[in-house]
Structure 1
């Protein structure tokens, strides 16, 4: 089943479940109102799985993400969500000698390829409670870039030269499905957030590990790959109901 079909089915189930839940009256206690809240913040760990031609050129990526969630109606069925994420899909380190030292002074040449995405859109919540499913449609942009820096072997993270080898910003669109599982109550309830997000990028320039290796071995400027870049992001983190 394609992702957009799965998202439509998930949205239908959310609406159906919500309607069924509202048929049975329940007391308006603080505990009943806690699971959704008007506004929430989230932070999660991410693992990306490249798809299509992007999968043929890259490996899995790892990173962090965060988001803000705001309810738009009293029942908190419809929300707006803004996502920010950073993942690194390729990293390398090469030991090189400092010119003029006869190989006595060694340097570390580090290269990293990364993706930053900023997307937003409506999020539909299912029945509120200890377990709450959701589906989201997202749109925004992503930045793909690769940079290299040089540092001393005993001066980690203290680089003295840096170059951006490739960068490109493109439109991104897709969606996400997931669920919240309540962990704590109180004034600021915490929920476990588990889900998956799909983002599509129709035409983007990016560097791969092979292109970086070829450039290093040939002492040449790396040539980016150009094409479609799709990936699924699996995430696990915490959602805190702020107000």
Structure 2
């Protein structure tokens, strides 16, 4: 009796082991196919900037777009190299002017815009694997601040016939970013929401403000740029696609 009972238990254990082995292998393969991040991914996002310190005393919030490329540096794909580029406009104005010699019959639009392009790169460390994945990034590179004025006909929007760069300066930029990826689509190329904030510091830069532009226009004199430190936080929301 005891021998037959032992044989039945051994047979049951063998069947259970054979049935569970394919499931374990399948789970292992599935886990390997969905790493925390692919070897490379692309991202694009909308941005809102918040000026800080003395830059906040001279400018308002900016709005723009940005994009980045990310490449894994280790086998676990938690340490990555990230390169960012962004364009932000922090001041815009429009003034209606009569064309001289036309008795006011021809009206022109004088448009002035102040912008910042930033190109930065650095290591990005991803957090635990899952549908919600935090990250932190250290960044360094450069930014270009410039202000441009253009004249166009009042009915010829975005087709200027004359333009001038009023001020421009390129400076080193450094800082970091924190954020999180939220998985919204699985498959061959998973898609994640990308929500985060980035801080960039610029120690010594020449830039124009809306007030300096207005003063130059009202007094018919050359513009006088502000010079000093320009720091700002960029809040962004976009998507990240694992490309390969």
TM-score class, shorter: 0.7 to 0.9
Cα offset, 1:29, TM superposition = 1.3
Per the alignment, residue 220 of structure 2 pairs with 219
What TM-score, normalized to structure 2? 0.88
- Where does the alignment leave 5 or more consecutive residues of structure 1 unmatched? 1-25
Residues 1:109 and 2:105 are matched in the alignment: no
Residues 1:235 and 2:236 are matched in the alignment: yes
Please tell me whether the aligned partners of residues 36 and 78 of structure 2 are also in contact (alpha carbons under 8 angstroms): no
Cα offset, 1:228, TM superposition = 0.1
Cα offset, 1:140, TM superposition = 0.0
How many residues matched? 218
Q: Any idea what the Cα deviations from partners look like across 1:128-167, whole Å, max 9, x if unmatched? A: 2111100000000000000000000110001000000000
What TM-score, normalized to structure 1? 0.88
Per the alignment, residue 10 of structure 2 pairs with none
5 Å-filtered alignment, 1:152-171, equals 152-171=153-172
Q: Any idea what the Cα deviations from partners look like across 1:160-210, whole Å, max 9, x if unmatched? A: 000000000000000000000001011111000000000000000000000
Per the alignment, residue 70 of structure 1 pairs with 71
SS at structure 2 position matched to 1:220: coil
Task: Please give the alpha-carbon distance, in whole angstroms, between the structure 1 residues aligned to 2:117 and 2:128.
Answer: 32
5 Å-filtered alignment, 1:57-206, equals 57-206=58-207
Task: Please give the alpha-carbon distance, in whole angstroms, between the structure 1 residues aligned to 2:80 and 2:177.
Answer: 14
Please tell me whether the aligned partners of residues 152 and 160 of structure 2 are also in contact (alpha carbons under 8 angstroms): yes
5 Å-filtered alignment, 1:12-91, equals 27-29=28-30, 33-91=34-92
Please tell me whether the aligned partners of residues 121 and 139 of structure 2 are also in contact (alpha carbons under 8 angstroms): yes
Please tell me whether the aligned partners of residues 205 and 229 of structure 2 are also in contact (alpha carbons under 8 angstroms): yes
Based on CA coordinates, which of the two structures has the bigger radius of gyration? 2
Task: Please give the alpha-carbon distance, in whole angstroms, between the structure 1 residues aligned to 2:109 and 2:32.
Answer: 55
SS at structure 2 position matched to 1:59: coil
